[in-house]
């Protein structure tokens, strides 16, 4: 897999999100259950944008150069997912782009909810592309504002027994200046790549 275009500011975005995560983890203390091997959030598909997809592709190219056998194992798992799930894919199974049609809403909600991420090590439950993971993977666990629900979204395993006030004190602000939105527009205008996809379709190619 060859490297593709990734906006130069992506590394800055990653640093901002990682710093916000570290700060929230420090404030969360005992309320945060996340640790290596805890992989509940790695089971079930979720949408990623083209910036995340480009980061994953470039990451796979780096892994392939470092450890071709590891890259082959990840790609094999991804291709297995694509082969098994193409017939019910809620979008274009050839490109991997998810449909934005309201008619596909139910199909998306029912799609592959028990499917482990192909980047997940099947035995020890750790991410084998951790350095290159999507932004959503970097923000899952700590309290993050869900704009649609106007509420703090928290992993089911975290903040058990915490009050609303204790949860709010640990809120993570992953990208306060919306750098991700700016970089995504730059990527789209440069490459023409648009639409959301899922990790398996990115890694299978």
In the chain, domain spans: 43-203
What CA–CA distance (Å, rounded) separates 54 from 2?
11
Q: What are the residues whose beta carbons fall under 8 Å from the beta carbon of 120, sequence distance 6 or more?
A: 39, 42, 43, 126, 127, 128
pTM (predicted TM-score): 0.94
* pLDDT of 113: 95
Structural contact between residues 133 and 119, judged by C-beta atoms closer than 8 angstroms? yes
What CA–CA distance (Å, rounded) separates 140 from 153?
9
* pLDDT of 1: 62
Mean pLDDT per 10-residue interval, the chain, length 205 residues? 85 97 95 91 96 97 97 98 97 96 92 97 95 96 84 92 95 96 97 96 96
Structural contact between residues 190 and 203, judged by C-beta atoms closer than 8 angstroms? no
């Amino acid at each position: 897999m060859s490297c593709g275009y990734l906006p130069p500011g992506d590394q800055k975005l990653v640093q901002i999100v990682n710093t916000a995560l570290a700060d929230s983890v420090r404030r969360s203390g005992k309320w945060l259950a996340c640790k290596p091997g805890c992989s509940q959030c790695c089971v079930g598909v979720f949408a990623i944008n083209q910036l995340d997809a480009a980061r994953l592709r470039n990451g796979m190219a780096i892994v392939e150069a470092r450890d071709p056998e590891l890259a082959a194992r990840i790609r094999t798992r991804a291709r297995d997912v694509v082969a098994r799930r193409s017939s019910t894919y809620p979008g274009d199974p050839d490109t991997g782009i998810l449909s934005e049609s309201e008619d596909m809403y139910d199909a998306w909600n029912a799609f592959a909810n028990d499917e482990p991420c192909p980047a997940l090590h099947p035995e020890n439950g750790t991410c084998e592309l951790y350095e290159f993971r999507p932004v959503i993977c970097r923000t899952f666990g700590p309290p993050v504002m869900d704009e649609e629900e106007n509420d703090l979204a928290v992993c089911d395993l975290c903040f058990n027994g915490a009050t609303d006030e204790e949860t709010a004190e640990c809120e993570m602000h992953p990208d306060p200046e919306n750098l991700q939105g700016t970089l995504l527009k730059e990527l789209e205008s440069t490459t023409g790549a648009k639409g959301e996809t899922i990790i398996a379709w990115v890694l299978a190619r």
